[in-house]
Amino acid sequence: MPKGFVYLRDVDPTILQDMRYASEHNFTGHAVPGYDAPECVLVSQAAEALKAVQAELREKQLALKVYDCYRPARAVKAFVTWAKLPDDPKAKSTYYPALQKRDLFPDYVALVSSHSRGATMDLTIVPLNPGEPASPPPGTPTPCTAALGKRAPDTSIDMGTAFDCFDVKAHTRVPALTPEQQQNRQMLVEAMSRQGFKNYEKEWWHFTLEREPYPDTVFDFPITPRAQSATPAEVEK
């Protein structure tokens, strides 16, 4: 990795990781190029700021869970290629039930992503000991806008939609939410803001460190497995 990048696990192993693009559990239906390991990689400043957010949430018996962090530029190109393929009915009904593929760019899937600068991440809040998420009823795929327990299983507190929900309901501030969902989103935004993160208004889960060290640099190194023997002290060296 370039100098200044770290594995989040080496900075704060208590932050949960559910790295969707290293698996089939994402809107493309398969692992995305560049995600060779299910690890959150960030610039050290962003990782340390997340550690501070985590410390605050733990006092409330809550914790962070990240879905995506640094994103190689090759992954962004793969998303553009995916957009040109015929629709997968299952993916459409789950991730963008009210939109067409062509409508996803650039509001929801950027042609050049801030994730590729290493200071942007997608995340949510979960109970400190989340346990196993409830599975939705078997049958046809449920949209990301469905009620908690009826959409794809997750350990997140109720944010009103699932992660990677390409829909107006995923905009951070919308009226079509319950008071609890609104409060949960506001709690996430405020906790992140106190540590220098700014939310993207069209995705409640998307945050960027305002004082990012590489504001004009797009990286393309792959995310590789973390050395199991590494310790925080060794990483700092």
- The span from the CA of 205 to the CA of 10, in Å, is 22
Q: What are all long-range contacts of 20-25, with beta carbons under 8 Å and residues at least 24 apart?
A: 20/67, 20/68, 20/163, 20/164, 21/68, 21/71, 21/75, 22/223, 25/152
The Cα-based distances of 20 to 26, 40, 68 in angstroms read: 6, 11, 7
Alpha-carbon span 101 to 119, nearest angstrom: 27
**CB contact at 8 A, 115 and 123:** no
How many CA within 13 A on the CB side of residue 182? 7
Q: Residue 173 carries which DSSP code?
A: S
Can you tell me the distance from the alpha carbon of 232 to that of 237, in angstroms, rounded to the nearest whole number? Answer: 9
Question: DSSP readout, 59-106?
Answer: TTTEEEEEEE----HHHHHHHHHHHTSPP-HHHHHHH-TTS-GGGGTT
Query: Which residue is catalytic, options 203, 210, 212, 234?
Result: 203
39 catalytic per annotation: no
Which structure tokens are listed for 59? 């006092």
Q: Are 8 and 52 in contact (CB under 8 A)?
A: no
Residue 109: count other Cβ atoms within 10 Å of its Cβ: 18
| Residues assigned a catalytic role | 203
